[in-house]
Amino acid sequence: DALRDVAEQNRARQERLRAEGISSERNLLEAELAYDEADAEYDAARSRLRVFGVGSGGGPDMALSSPIDGIVIERHATRGENVTPDDTLFVVADLSRVWVIGQVYEQHVSQITPGMTATLTLSAYPGHSWSGTVDFVGATLDESTRSLPVRVEVGNEDGRLRPGLFGALRLSTDPHDSRGVVVPSSALQEVEGRTVVFVPGDEPGAFLARPITPGREGMSQVEVLAGLAIGEPLVVEGAFVLKSELMRAELGHGHAH
């Protein structure tokens, strides 16, 4: 805007000098050309701003909109910093589903295939597990660890799985488990003749007994045919304690009546 104003003032000055016979026709033409170029650049800049949602009279501030839904996981910009189109200001990620990277030792490589069911446990959340599916198996071994990288996709609807957390992956080698949910057998409890698992409730620290339909069992794991979605968190360690508390609460209500 400032460059265009200067060019406009110079053009007006050359027009006045030309009318007084002081300036040449060439100087006037050069001033008009400089103004036209500055005006074109000004219009182009306004068009670029409109692309980013900044209209006329919008002031020096502009809103940056992410092309995807998600949360900001990295911030590189600081207030007052000059930036260029090549600078990365923020990193936004959709964490509703996450990738978990694991390593499989050489002696087990032949048993690993995409589509296998995996169970994830994290030291940050003792007693909880998440189910996922292997969606990528590396092509080469790490020479230092003699292990093969695998990637597991896990649902993260509750947002507990955060980048950088460490845990353990248990992969099911039963090919029939590739379409189902597999959980540790310690998560299953019998309540009033029904098989249930305990899942987080709406309130912090609250848990609900969820009836499920168990399937095949082996190697301390149980297939869940219905009642639990892939990636849904549940209680693995301490499920029996929750069952005992539930039964004690029900007995207390019974005596009250």
pLDDT tens figures, 53-90:
665 555 566 677 788 888 888 888 888 788 787 888 89
> Which positions ≥6 away from 32 have C-beta within 8 Å?
11, 14
For residue 212, the model assigns a pLDDT of 92
Q: Report how far apart, in Å, the C-alpha atoms of 253 and of each of 41, 118, 190, 243, 257 are.
A: 78, 40, 20, 16, 7
For residue 5, the model assigns a pLDDT of 86
Whether residues 139 and 215 fall in one domain? yes
Domain count of the chain? 2
For residue 46, the model assigns a pLDDT of 79
Calculate the average pLDDT of the chain.
83
Does the pLDDT of residue 257 top 70, yes or no?
A: no
Does the pLDDT of residue 181 top 80, yes or no?
A: no
Range of the domain at 28: 1-57
Whether residues 102 and 174 fall in one domain? yes
For residue 177, the model assigns a pLDDT of 47
* pLDDT per position as a tens digit, 137-150: 888 898 888 999 99
CA dist 54 and 51 (Å) reads 7
71 lies in some domain: no
Q: Which two tokens stand for residue 218?
A: 């082996």
The letter for the amino acid at 125 is: Y
For residue 94, the model assigns a pLDDT of 86
Whether residues 102 and 217 fall in one domain? yes
- How confident is the model over 221-226, as a mean pLDDT? 83
Whether residues 136 and 40 fall in one domain? no
Strand order across the beta sheet in which 194-200 lies = 189-191, 194-200, 207-211
Q: Of the given ranges (107-121, 154-168, 215-229), which has the lowest mean pLDDT? A: 215-229
CA dist 196 and 188 (Å) reads 6
194 lies in some domain: yes
Residue 157 per-residue DSSP state = T
CATH number, domain containing residue 120 = 2.40.30.170
> At 210, is the pLDDT very low, low, confident or very high (cuts 50, 70, 90)?
very high
Q: What percent of the chain has pLDDT over 90?
A: 13
Does the pLDDT of residue 240 top 80, yes or no?
A: yes
For residue 18, the model assigns a pLDDT of 82
Contact indicator for 195, 187 with CB cutoff of 8 Å: no
Question: What's the pTM value of the predicted model, to 2 decimals?
Answer: 0.45
CA dist 132 and 153 (Å) reads 5
For residue 254, the model assigns a pLDDT of 54
For residue 256, the model assigns a pLDDT of 42
Q: Which two tokens stand for residue 191?
A: 């309540």
18 lies in some domain: yes
- How confident is the model over 45-51, as a mean pLDDT? 74
- How confident is the model over 175-199, as a mean pLDDT? 79
For residue 60, the model assigns a pLDDT of 61
